[in-house]
Amino acid sequence: QSNINSHESDILESLQGFKVEKILNENAQTKTMFVHGKFENSEDNAVVIVEKTAFSEKSIRGVLSGDTTMKNTLKNDIYGTYEVYPKPEFNEIKTTVIYPATEKHIAKYTGQPVYMVQETPELYSDITLPYLNAENFSIQWVYNILEKKKESERIIYEDSHPETGFILLPDMKWDQKQTDNLYLIAICHKRGIKSLRDLNSSHLPLLRNILTRGKKAIKDTFDVDGSQLRIYIHYQPSYYHFHVHFTHLKFDAPGSNAGRAHLLSDVIDNIELRNDFYQKKTLNFILRENEGLFKKFQESGKVLDSFS
Amino acid sequence: QSNINSHESDILESLQGFKVEKILNENAQTKTMFVHGKFENSEDNAVVIVEKTAFSEKSIRGVLSGDTTMKNTLKNDIYGTYEVYPKPEFNEIKTTVIYPATEKHIAKYTGQPVYMVQETPELYSDITLPYLNAENFSIQWVYNILEKKKESERIIYEDSHPETGFILLPDMKWDQKQTDNLYLIAICHKRGIKSLRDLNSSHLPLLRNILTRGKKAIKDTFDVDGSQLRIYIHYQPSYYHFHVHFTHLKFDAPGSNAGRAHLLSDVIDNIELRNDFYQKKTLNFILRENEGLFKKFQESGKVLDSFS
């Protein structure tokens, strides 16, 4: 007896019977929504992330065609606005389903007030590091990729050197239909580098290798020059195995802002300037109110400004 | 004899016979595209702007329903990604048609390639500085503000000290209707600081004063805490009189990305670490192909990567 939605390992064939429980968050600028819901006949939670896709050279011809129906909403001189309804095949939506989802997934995607935290080296060792050690976040899915147990068909480039090597593959957020929103991730083979905080001059060969060979692989594969890429590290990262983001400059990717993104070339320069730059530096980053790490900072009284 | 597309005052009933001539520009983040095209049997140009619409409470229930068809693209543990194709009525596209369009319309909507430029100290003195001196950009409008000849009614806060003082006022891009997209600018009274490149330890009192009093003025006036602000300097700036941007963390303001935005607190830290940090540092920034400074870098052969 098989219910297509009953097993976590199953691929969904339809959204029949899906019930929206709550809209967790939305972004009207990027046309994205985060939804908590359930499937019929299951008590498990699902988190569904839907995002409208960018137009491509191909899809635009299908949209602007006789197959499309349209409704006029305004007309003034040479300017007219319309609501247009293309055939579904030209107007897909990128969807990520996390199922079964835990309470942590739901919390992660729930819209929250955000705060800029100033993490001094002391606050890193007193708050952040103990928190990371206690939580012991699973990065099994990263090891699955590095060991070719998962997603090996998605690998764009690999340098297999254990100290300086990495695997380059498209980020889940990139649909690979056009290069304007190109988004790839380089995941290093070396284990144990949690984040920017751990980097010192011993990692310069790794960092330089990712910068140089990552750019070359992207040029060779997608014909996008290194000068059109934003290449950066997140701090805090979303997982604590060292990786680097490569996005197209035209694309203001989430997390490419000051306060989270650190350009890889700046990181290399700063470590060249001073071996322990990232152990000594106060690092600013943004945390959501419902994140565990934020609560730790809040308890220590290190978040809000006090002007009294 | 009527062709529905032949008169400028006509409302379009369909896109039958529309031919895409050229994609003028696109934004993969906002899912927008600017297209130059023509209608059958007409020599007139049309510019068509299409933008995917944000999800609504109503449309999301139509999208996540049994009416939607879907195709699996990836499955790893509890994570699955899909391309989903909802019924057209739940997936409209906002469309503006400019018809007939002039050459000026086409130029206005044509995008420019962007490049990341790596400005070493040598390239700053050989290319950027001579360019700035030769162009001699007018900043009279800034002096008008500082001298209260213009916009004095918009001032939120002023510290009139000639060395460490500044004027704080809303950026033109902020409508001041809600604080979620708060955007203010602090313009220093002291003249002659062109940009980040000029800053050294003699400016630390100015920088610390802008950081502290700017945050306090925003807290007092708008009840937004300093911990909810992104406070940064642009490099390159859009005008060469020193100023600081204050935006709400929730707002991904244009120019808040790595590659343009430098957090003021990082700038202070870096100068404390080393007096000449910003005179010695290679600075990365993004230029559009049609900008004068880009042409100077291009002539010097310092833009594209070479892997040959």
Under 8 Å between Cβ of A59 and A90: yes
Order of strands, edge to edge, in the sheet holding A69-76?
A: A69-76, A79-85, B93-101, B45-52, B32-39, B18-27
Cβ atoms of A68 and A89 closer than 8 Å = no
The CATH class given to the B18-108 domain equals: alpha beta
Q: Is A104 on the interface with B (CB under 8 A)?
A: no
Which helix (H) or strand (E) segment is A25 a member of? strand A18-27
| ipTM of the shown complex | 0.78
Q: Among candidates B183, B206, B186, which has minimal Cα distance to B145?
A: B186
The minimum CA-CA distance between A28 and chain B, rounded to whole Å, is: 5
CA B271 to chain centre: 27
Pick from B13, B216, B262: CB nearest A307: B216
Asked if the C-beta of B60 comes within 8 angstroms of chain A's C-beta atoms, the answer is yes
B228 cis-preceded (ω within 30 degrees of 0): no
Contact list in A for residue B33 (CB cut-off 8 A) is 54-55, 60
- Assigned CATH for A112-299: 3.30.428.10
Q: What are the residue numbers of the active site of A?
A: 243
Contact B123, B150 (CB under 8 A): no
Q: Does domain B114-299 have CATH number 3.30.428.10?
A: yes
- In chain A (308 residues long), the average pLDDT of successive 10-residue segments reads 48 92 89 95 95 95 95 89 95 96 92 91 96 89 94 95 98 89 97 97 98 98 96 96 96 91 98 97 93 92 64
Answer yes or no: do B81 and A172 touch at CB < 8 A. Answer: yes
Query: Which pLDDT tens digits describe chain B residue by residue (308 residues)?
Result: 334 444 545 889 889 999 999 999 988 888 999 999 999 989 999 999 999 998 998 999 999 999 999 999 999 899 999 999 999 999 999 999 999 999 888 988 998 889 999 999 999 999 999 999 998 888 898 999 999 998 889 999 999 999 999 999 999 878 787 888 899 999 999 999 999 999 999 999 999 999 999 999 999 999 999 999 999 999 999 999 999 999 999 888 889 999 999 999 999 999 999 999 999 999 999 998 888 899 999 998 877 765 43
Place of tokens 């162009």: B135
Query: Whole-angstrom Cα distance, residue A41 to residue A47?
Result: 16
B281 touches chain A (CB under 8 A): yes
Helix orientation angle between B264-273 and B204-222, rounded to the nearest 10 degrees: 160
Instruction: Return the structure tokens found at B211.
Output: 């950081």
Considering only the beta carbons, identify the residue of A88, A114, A181 that sits closest to B249: A114
Cis peptide before A100 (omega within 30 of 0): yes
Query: What is the per-residue pLDDT across A148-201, written as a single tens digit (0 to 9) for each?
Result: 998 899 999 999 999 999 999 999 889 898 898 899 999 999 999 999 999 999
Q: What ranges do the domains of chain A cover? A: 1-53+94-102, 57-91, 112-299
- Identify the residue among B92, B211, B308 best suited for mutation to test binding to A, counting A beta carbons within 10 A and taking the highest: B92
Are B280 and B286 in contact by the 8 Å Cβ rule? The answer is: no
Query: Would you state the torsion angle of the CA atoms of residues A290, A291, A296, A302, taken in this order, to the nearest 10 degrees?
Result: -80
**Does B248 lie at the interface with A, CB-CB under 8 angstroms?**
no
Distance of CA A18 to the CA centre of its chain: 25
Residues of B noted as catalytic: 243
CATH topology of domain A1-53+94-102: Phosphorylase Kinase; domain 1 (3.30.200)
Other C-beta atoms closer than 10 Å to the C-beta of A159 total 18
- Indicate yes or no: CB of B258 within 8 angstroms of CB of A261: yes
Q: Which of A83, A92, A118 sits opposite B85 (nearest CB)?
A: A92
CA distance A19 to chain B (A): 8
Task: Find the CB nearest A259 among B48, B118, B263.
Answer: B263
Interface of A with B in 25-44 (CB under 8 A): 26-33, 35, 37
